[in-house]
Amino acid sequence: MTAVVLATACALVYGTADFLGGLATRRSRVLAVVVLSQAAGLAVIVALLPFLPETPTPGALAWGAASGLCGTAGVVLFYRALATGVMSVVAPITATFSAALPVLFGLAVGERPEPVALGGVVLALLAVLMVSRGPSDGKTGRGYGPILASLAAGAGFGGFFVIIAQAPADGGMWPLVGARLISVTLIALLAVATGRALRPGPGTLPVIVAAGTLDMAANVLFVLAQQRGMLSLVAVLVSLYPASTLLLARHFLGERLNTVQVVGIGFTLAAVALIASG
């Protein structure tokens, strides 16, 4: 039950961080938001380290760095897919595949959730697909390129969950330090190589910092959750984060939800209940 609570809280915090990041990208360049928010998250975890009992180990930092490579690749490929495809196609493919990969990995290494919990996993994957689906304009993008990029982005995000879960438990939060150092460095180098400015738009820096802080808080919750529960259950609960992003956008921005998204939010709640009871 503790893992379910932590994973559900993680999804809520991830969704809030994405909402704030989305607000910031309306007035700042995407790469500026990504780099500055990632840097803010790194500052948060580094500030917390003196208060944590664990000490850094090569294994913890190495697993963290590897997960950071996957996460960074996921971010770059996701925005690449968005630039060449359609949101209503890209988002559900990426979100569903990022949820499915840890589930398949967990089952492959011997995790055996109860049948009720497995039913919740299936319902959760369907919910992710539904809540991530926005209005379509009838287009599918430029051929198969955006679809392949979406699948690769989902593999990157799912790989982050799988790899960071392999870090030794005695490493505490140090894997997150390795992951964030890699991601900040690589995305900053990408911004420099492409000549993109990293200056935030007027008034957006506090929002960017808040997004980065919450994103790191969500990462901490994920690490704590997967240390206490099955990856196949924790990761799929975490992947329900688009539901909270949608609800925040509905409440604060007045964005309308389509019927599929509303049903998907209902499926989200049912999936959490099934997994918690399994």
Burial of 127 (0-12, 13-18, 19+ CB in 10 A): buried
Residue 88 has pLDDT above 80, yes or no: no
Number of domains present in the structure of the chain? 1
Q: What is residue 133's predicted lDDT score, i.e. its pLDDT?
A: 74
Residue 75 has pLDDT above 90, yes or no: no
Residue 72 has pLDDT above 70, yes or no: yes
Residue 158 has pLDDT above 80, yes or no: yes
Q: What is the DSSP string of 62-101?
A: HHHHHHHHHHHHHHHHHHHHHHHS-HHHHHHHHHHHHHHH
Mean pLDDT of the chain: 88
Q: What is the DSSP string of 162-198?
A: HHHTTS-GGGTTHHHHHHHHHHHHHHHHHHHHTT---
Helix pair angle (231-238, 205-228), 10° resolution: 160
pLDDT tens track for 189-198? 988 898 888 8
> Any residues with CB less than 8 A from the CB of 218 and at least 6 apart, and which?
10, 11, 13, 14, 17, 238, 241
Alpha carbon 172 to its chain's center? 20
pLDDT tens track for 97-148? 888 899 999 999 999 999 999 999 999 999 988 887 766 545 555 556 778 8
Report the pLDDT averaged over residues 245-258. Answer: 87
Q: What is residue 34's predicted lDDT score, i.e. its pLDDT?
A: 87
Report the pLDDT averaged over residues 250-271. Answer: 89
Residue 89 has pLDDT above 90, yes or no: no
Q: What angle do CA 28, 178, 197 make, to 5 degrees?
A: 20
Rounded CA-CA distance 218/62 in Å is 21
% of the chain surpassing 90 pLDDT? 53
The half-sphere exposure of 266 on its side-chain side, counting CA atoms within 13 A, is 7
Q: How sure is the predictor about 178, in pLDDT bands with cuts at 50, 70 and 90?
A: very high
Global confidence as pTM: 0.89
pLDDT tens track for 23-66? 888 888 888 898 999 999 999 999 988 887 788 889 999 999 99
Retrieve residue 26's tokens. 């309306």
Q: How sure is the predictor about 214, in pLDDT bands with cuts at 50, 70 and 90?
A: very high
For residue 56, give its domain range.
2-277
Rounded CA-CA distance 113/203 in Å is 47
Retrieve residue 275's tokens. 């997994």
**Helix boundaries (H) for 110-144:** 115-131
Q: What is residue 220's predicted lDDT score, i.e. its pLDDT?
A: 94
